[in-house]
Each structure stands twice: as structure tokens, then as C-alpha cells.
Amino acid sequence: MAAATSFYSSMAPHFQTKLPVKVTGTTLASRLGFSSTANSSRSAKLLAWTRAGAVAGGGGSALGAKMVLAPSIGKPALTLDFETSVFKKEKINLAGHEEYIVRGGRDLFGLLPEAFKGIKQIGVIGWGSQGPAQAQNLRDSLGVAQSDIVVKIGLRKGSSSFEEARAAGFTEENGTLGDIWKTISGSDLVLLLISDAAQADNYEKVFSHMKPNSILGLSHGFLLGHLQSLGLDFPKNVSVIAVCPKGMGPSVRRLYVQGKEINGAGINSSFAVHQDVDGKATNVALGWSVALGSPFTFATTLEQEYKSDIFGERGILLGAVHGIVEALFRRYTENGMDEELAYKNTVECITGIISKTISTKKKGKKEFNAAYSASYYPCMDILYECYEDVASGSEIRSVVLAGRRFYEKEGLPAFPMGNIDQTRMWKVGERVRSTRPEGDLGPLHPFTAGVYIALMMAQIEILRKKGHSYSEIINESVIESVDSLNPFMHARGVSFMVDNCSTTARLGSRKWAPRFDYILTQQALVAVDSGSSINQDLLSNFFSDPVHGAIEVCAQLRPTVDISVPPDADFVRPGCERSLPESWSWLCELCSSAVMVVGGEGSLFQ
């Protein structure tokens, strides 16, 4: 198909696949650096399949592709470097490409007053997903630093969030809670954390209330994309920076609180300096990220951030997962599988047990290989289209217009988003979770694993070909799932996430999940059922992909704290004070066993 062939490379002959070896006695999470050592002894042994067994079945593509996409090894499009006079910059090597990061840690909180020099008030605008988490983390970190910088919440008049903000310790009496416009006018650093659609509708008023030489802080590049679509840019008398946690607000707060005894626990962040009017923007951005608890912060651009972020949440982070499990649940039940078992073999498998051992029986190998081979290009087809819709501004415009349809206008009724959780599959999920024993990760289904890993690798390749840094690729395609979304989806279900996450992500999932569902049903599953041969070269390229080594480096930067999510966790509010008695280290191994079992030594997550 055109979407796939445009990516073809002539580099395939340069890659060789190592013979797999048996992996025993050590958890894959420990090998990654993702899990706490206390959990190492609980993991099952991982058995690597032989290469012959893994790729048996012939060399033709399940979809008749004439060529095979080889892993990218070319020079990245961007070289992202920065200078900071406050924090230590570190160079890392990811798949042969040099990138620069700043490690976080609570031992750096003492540097925050210097990083925020000249800032007397930080205004946090909005109390949605990121607002509560970032405001509390900033307040707590500045408190540790004994700084007198005020963190103030700004909300619209009459907002129901006033009570929630007061409950978190922000009050009008102590000057940390107030009207949105007065807060913006009085702040030296304005963190605009309202919804994307609200930013698009209110940016002019926000800009008009900002002080000259103040700093606008964003946690998403959506507003830049919207301005670009209108031929506009930010005012020239303010600095514009971004710190973008690679996870939902509740995860940003949850890991920060859990990691109080661990130096550096939290959610990774990217940062960007789009406009710097006084030379202070980089230090401020890095200070903001460190104060949030980011274990490491990597550089990006505001444009690259919004492209990868909006694309990612429509892909493996939410939309594509939604589409995959709908398609596979329907397939499994139509083929006679009990519906509760079908739910476990789809949703529970992806959000839970994929990290565990796959049987070495030949049937399991064949199922994984067939699913991967047949699903890779159909997934890439939709991902490619999605990325280009985001990059062109079409997807951003779609979100803005959808937000306006939530309200009555032009004589037409309001059309707010409805919920998806009342259909059969999601009602089955409620029953499964209500009877699920604590710590039960569900069954591992090799076919489901094959489809999911194919999706992940296709997303990685799209971002790589589009010039994103490996730090951004890995965080958007792997770590954000592991550290943020999948733990919450396992606790509450995929449908709950689709119904309760950010407006932009919810809209994206509803739009793109059916596309993944349909193309898998109409192309990938038909190819499998018709007995199409497995694409041996595609699997070989998977084994030798240079992203595997890059992921290992990123994993080593991850602190040894596993997020703990209670079954009643709130996706929007970060006040999850209950914790499960055991750390969910298995979530930090997400999908790794499936890949290790197929690829052996040198394969993904090894």
C-alpha cells in the first residue's frame, strides 16, 4: 500500500539477527531498570524462541507488500542542544544519535530559587488533569527549597473546581486561589493548563492579560498548532516555554508522592523554548520540570511536541488500543470464546500480562508471528494518515470545532461527547474487574500480543521517519503507556479512560479507534484467516531494530518506583491516597516478554 511503500528503505541487507538465548532467573523489568529490585524474584522465567521457530512460515507479506520496511539508522532531522547555567546537562547516546538531557531529583530542589530567579508568582490556570498535579508538585518542591515564590490557582468565575482546589490547600485567604484573569495579570510565569479547545477560544484574552516580559508556560504544543493554522504566533513581548510530562496529571502527582523517599521519582518530561525575551527561559523551563519530579527532561520543539503527542494519544496510548481490543474481542467471541475470557484475552492482556511468559509451544509462536506480520502495515497505514492529519493542522481544527459543538449555536443543539462504556464488551469488563483477584494480571494471548507489538513498532517507525528524537519516540510510544496510561486502564478499564481523559484525547480515540478496528478486521484478520504466509523479513527487521538499545538506555534513567493505582483511581484528580500492597512492577515490563520471546537477545526491551 502507498502508505507503507513510501517508507521503504534499502538498508535491510545491513541488519543481522542474533540467535536468541534463554533468559532465566532475572526479571525483564530489572534488566530494563524499570522495576524495583524487591519485585525481581516474583517474575517468571522468560524463554526465548529460536529464530527458526519465530519466523517460520515463508517470506511473503501477509498483505502482498513488495518490499519490507527496514529499521531507520539515518541521521535524525533535528539536533536539539541547549545551554543552562543552573542545571547539569548530560549527553546520552540513543541508537547512535547524541541527545542532551537533565536528570531530575529531589536533591536539585535547592536550585529552584536560582532557576526561577525574578519570578514571584507562578499562576497555574485550570484544574483539569495536569493543573492539580503540577500545582501541588510545584508548591511542595518550592516548599522543600524554602522559596517564597507563590503558586496560585486561577479559575473562571463560578467554576466548580474552586472547592477541589481549596481541598488541596489553595485558598483565597492565603493568596493562592483566585480569578483566572487577575491571576494571569499578577503572575510572572503563567502555566496555561486549561483544555486545548479552551486555549483555542481564549488565547487572545490570555495574551492581553499577561505582563510584558512574563513567561507563558504550556504543557502541550496544541496552541502553537492552532495559531499556525491561522497564520499567527505568540506575542513578541513574552517568553514561551513548554514542559510536557509524558503521562496524565494523576500519574505526575501519584509518582511524585510515592517517590518522596526515592530521589528522582516521577514522570519524564520534554521541554521546549519557543521564544526567549530575556535569556532566562531555558533555566525556568528546566526548573519547572525538576520541580514536577521528572526523572529526566529531554529537549524538543513545541511543534515536534504537539505532533508526536496528539498523534501518540490517537495511536498506541489510547485510540489504537481502543480499536484493537474492540476488533479482537469481536473476533474471539465470534469464534466461540466465552465473552469474559475474550475480554481478558484482549484488554487484560494488553494492560497487564503481556510482560509475562509466553508458552514455548509452537502454536503460540505461530499465532504471534502471524498477528505481527499481518497487522504491521495496516496499523502503519492508519498511523501514517493520522500523523499527517496532525501535522497539517487538520486534526487540531477538528478538535477545536468539536469543542464548539458541545454547546448550542446557530440554532443547532449541543452535542457533547457521549460515553462508550455501556456496550456489551465494556459491561463484560465491569464483571471481570469486579471478580478479579488482587494481583491477577489476566491471561497472555499471543495473537493479541502480536497485534499490539506490531502497532507499537509501526508507531515508532512513523515518528522516526518524521524526524523525532529517540527520547521523544520512546516516551510517546513506550514509557508513557508503561508509567501512566496502562496502569490506570488496568484499574478502571479502557472505556473509562476513553470517557474520562482529556478532551483532545477523548475526541481522538472516538475518531481513530474505529479506523484501527476496521482496517484490522478487513485486512489483517482476513490475511491471517486466508493463510497468507508470514513476512520473514519483517520479523527479522523487528529483531534487529536499533530502537531496542535506545530503550535500554532510557530505561536505565527510570527510578526504581512502580506506580501503584487503586481500583477506584480517579483519572482526572490526582488524590489517589490508597495504594495496593504490592507494587505493580509488571506494568513496567509491558509487552516486553512478548518481544523477548520472539526476538531473543538484542530484541526490544531486553
Which spans in 469-524 are helix H? 470-474, 480, 486-492, 494-500, 503-519
Span between the terminal Cα atoms of the chain, in Å? 32
**Torsion angles phi and psi, residue 75, rounded to 5:** -70, 135
Is 392 within any annotated ligand binding site? no
| 246: nearest Cα among 272, 219, 224 | 219
- Chain position carrying cell 473509562: 496
**What is the helix (H) or strand (E) element at residue 200, kind and residue range?**
helix 196-209
* CA 295 from centre of chain: 15
**115, 147 in Cβ contact below 8 A?**
no
Identify any residues that bridge with 124 across adjacent strands, giving them in sequence order.
153, 191
Q: Any idea which residue has 496528539 for its cell?
A: 310
Helix 196-209 vs helix 222-229: crossing angle, to nearest 10: 80
278 marked among binding-site residues? no
313 annotated as a binding-site residue: yes
Smallest CA-to-CA distance from 168 within 229, 203, 110, 127 is with 127
Contacts of 40 (CB under 8 A, 6+ apart): 26, 27, 29, 30
Cell of 318: 489510547
**Does residue 502 have a known ligand-binding role?**
yes
393: burial class by Cβ within 10 Å (0-12, 13-18, 19+)?
middle
What nine digits make up the cell of 483? 508509567
> What gap in Å lies between CA 486 and CA 87, rounded to an integer?
32
Torsion of CA 379, 381, 386, 388, to 10 degrees: 150
Q: Check the annotation: does 6 bind a ligand.
A: no
* Cell numbers found for residue 567: 481500583
C-alpha cell at 497: 479512560
Cell of 380: 502503519
**Candidates 220, 274, 468, 490; catalytic one:** 220
Sequence-distant (6+) residues with CB within 8 A of 411 are none
Query: Could you give the strand order of the β-sheet that contains 150-155, starting from the edge strand earlier in sequence?
Result: 90-94, 97-103, 296-299, 269-275, 239-245, 215-218, 189-192, 121-125, 150-155, 177-179
Map residue 269 onto helix, strand or coil.
strand
Contact 282, 82 (CB under 8 A): yes
Q: Is 220 a catalytic residue?
A: yes
Q: Where does residue 245 fall: left (phi above 0), alpha (psi -120 to 50 degrees), or beta otherwise? A: beta
Is 309 labelled a binding residue? yes
Q: Do residues 159 and 134 touch, judged by C-beta distance below 8 A?
A: no
Is 49 within 8 Å of 22 (Cβ atoms)?
no
Residue positions forming the annotated binding site for substrate: 373, 502
Residue positions forming the annotated binding site for Mg(2+): 309, 313, 476, 480
Residue positions forming the annotated binding site: 309, 313, 373, 476, 480, 502
Q: Which residues are catalytic?
A: 220
